[in-house]
Amino acid sequence: MVKVTIDREGCVSCGTCEDTCPGFFQLNTDDTLSQVIEKYRAEGRPDEGDAPEDLLPCINEAAELCPVQVIQVND
């Protein structure tokens, strides 16, 4: 399983990850920071998730495009 983490404190709420990979990332409606969608969260944590194989291409793309590089993909 590939772990994905978001350093939410560094997120600048640009929306790129959600636009690039809406099946995995979304902006939290309260604090506007990026989070993992509920379905893929690791132990309910919004900043950590288990990536399904089919979403890895867009997750990797989102990590590359994040302007502050706060998305880590650990495979």
> What does the alpha-carbon distance between residue 57 and residue 50 come to, in Å, rounded to a whole number?
14
Query: Sign of dihedral through CA atoms 20, 25, 31, 33?
Result: negative
Asked if residue 71 binds ligand SF4 (CB under 6 A), the reply is: yes
Q: CB of 3: closest distance to ligand SF4 in angstroms? A: 16
Contact characters 10-49, ligand SF4, x per CB under 6 A: -xxxxxxx----------------x---------------
Q: Which chain residues interact with ligand SF4 by CB under 6 A?
A: 6, 11-17, 34, 66-68, 70-71
